[in-house]
Amino acid sequence: MRNKQKAAIVLATTLGTGYCPIAPGTVGAFVTAIVLWFLSPIPWWSLLSIAVAAFFLGVVVARISDAAWGSHDSGRINWDEVVGMMVTLVALPKTPAVFTAAFLLFRFFDIVKPFPVRQAEKLPHGWGVMGDDVLAGIYSNIVLQLVFRLFL
């Protein structure tokens, strides 16, 4: 395996957490929530910019990793959940209740895959790997923004 493939796999599996035998996607989302919780406050536009860059990087590393493994959207790839969780948390307050709700909602939308999340999953190469999780993150963020603005 070449160095480019090794590097892609390390990132695609979020430093190896994608090899977790139980719920590697959930692990990736959880790790992201924990890391973002312990980082100093990040302006919403910075988090969004990081998520966009991480999305495009994810498209590339998912394509390379899947090619190396001979698969499509391998369960070992959990960088997509990392990016989806980042999108979920954009412009939301940093409270335990919000982070918990964000994690649960993101996993719900990622697992249930309402329209057009499931359709995005069918996009070719790394686009489908990343696209469904970003849409799940957008859905989660919209729900939380509405709840926060209307009820809290």
pLDDT of the residue at 98: 95
pLDDT of the residue at 74: 84
pLDDT of the residue at 125: 84
pLDDT of the residue at 152: 73
Which DSSP string do the residues of 60-117 spell out, in sequence order?
Answer: HHHHHHHHHHT-SS-TT--HHHHHHHHHHHTT----HHHHHHHHHHHHHHHHH-TTTH
pTM over 0.85: yes
**Per-residue pLDDT tens digits for 61-101:** 999 999 999 887 788 999 999 999 999 999 999 999 999 99
Indicate the DSSP class of residue 17.
G
pLDDT of the residue at 143: 98
Instruction: For the chain, list residues with pLDDT below 70.
Output: 1
Find out whether 8 and 60 touch, Cβ atoms under 8 Å. yes
Domain ranges of the chain: 3-151
